[in-house]
């Protein structure tokens, strides 16, 4: 598999949210606005790239029977780092994402990529894979966040274009399911 293909597969062909349906908890939870989706997506990308690279580096040194706990410790370390950094430098975004930042630890995509890709491939292709998957995740979250923000509060990235309340249900939990369902259907059509 060449590197370009490896990178772009995360966006459409193997998009973690729309095709693999992994990591749906933060997908449904934080995407009340486009900026929240983007912030969450980028935080996850950082963790994915970091854990993929480290896992690929140390894969030979880890005995098979303890690989899952080892991967989780590596992932949790990166999550804690991004948690601290965000709390210090982007407090507003940190606040609106809240509990979902520490919960990146249990995001299936991160452990999934470590187990399915990084533990079997070279450091460089793991880096590309993490970057592609992470940005694909960020792309999906931003798209869903944008759809919900446009319909739910008539604004995009905080910029309001109609000065009334939107279709409230799209900001609430059911709206996340509606939005996701339509986007998945759309992606299926594009992939055909």
Partner 1 sequence: MAKKESTFFNMTLTLFVITAVAAVALGYVYNITKDPIQKAKDEKLKTAINIVVPGADKGTIEESKLSVDGGELVMYKVIVDGNCIGTAVKTFSNNGFGGLITVMVGFDSEGKIIDSNVLEHKETPGLGDKTSKSVAPWNEQFKGLDISQMKDQMLKVTKDGGVVNAITAATISSRAYCDAIQRGWKAYMDNISKAVAEDKQPDTDETVNETETDVEQIMEETNNE
CA distances from 138 to 31, 41, 74 (A): 11, 4, 21
Question: Alpha helix locations (H) across the chain?
Answer: 3-8, 24-30, 34-58, 67-89, 91-97, 108-113, 123-153, 173-191
Query: Which is nearer to partner 1, 81 or 186 (by Cβ)?
Result: 81
Q: How many residues bind partner 1 (CB under 8 A)?
A: 30
Interacting span for partner 1 (CB under 8 A) from 4-12, 74-82, 103-111, 138-146:
74-82
- Tell me how crowded residue 6 is: count the other CB atoms within 10 A of its CB: 20
| Span between the terminal Cα atoms of the chain, in Å | 21
Query: Which is nearer to partner 1, 64 or 192 (by Cβ)?
Result: 64
CB of 50 to partner 1, least distance (A): 11
Q: Could you say which residues in the range 82-101 bind partner 1, by CB under 8 A?
A: 84-85, 87-89, 91
- Find all residues with CB under 8 Å of 149, minimum gap 6, and list them: 32, 33, 34, 155, 156, 157, 171
- The answer to the question of residue 189 lying near partner 1 (CB under 8 A) is no
Interacting span for partner 1 (CB under 8 A) from 78-86, 102-110, 121-129, 138-146:
78-86
- The answer to the question of residue 32 lying near partner 1 (CB under 8 A) is yes
Q: Which residues bind partner 1 (CB under 8 A)?
A: 32, 58, 60-66, 69-70, 73-74, 76-77, 80-81, 84-85, 87-89, 91, 152-153, 165-166, 168, 171-172
């Amino acid at each position: 598999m060449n590197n370009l293909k490896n990178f772009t597969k995360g966006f459409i062909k193997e998009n973690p949210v729309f095709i693999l349906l992994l990591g749906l908890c933060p997908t449904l939870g934080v995407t009340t606005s486009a900026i929240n989706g983007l912030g969450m997506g980028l935080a996850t990308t950082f963790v994915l790239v970091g854990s993929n690279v480290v896992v690929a580096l140390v894969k030979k040194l880890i005995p098979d029977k303890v690989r899952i706990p080892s991967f989780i410790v590596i992932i949790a370390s990166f999550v804690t780092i991004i948690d601290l950094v965000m709390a210090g430098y982007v407090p507003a975004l940190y606040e609106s994402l809240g509990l979902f930042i520490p919960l990146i630890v249990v995001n299936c995509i991160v452990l999934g990529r470590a187990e399915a890709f990084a533990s079997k491939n070279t450091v460089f292709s793991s880096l590309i894979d993490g970057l592609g998957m992470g940005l694909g995740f960020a792309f999906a979250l931003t798209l869903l966040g944008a759809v919900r923000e446009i319909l739910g509060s008539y604004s995009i990235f905080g910029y309001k274009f109609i000065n009334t309340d939107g279709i409230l249900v799209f900001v609430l939990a059911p709206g996340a399911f509606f939005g996701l369902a339509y986007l998945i259907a759309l992606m299926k059509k594009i992939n055909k």
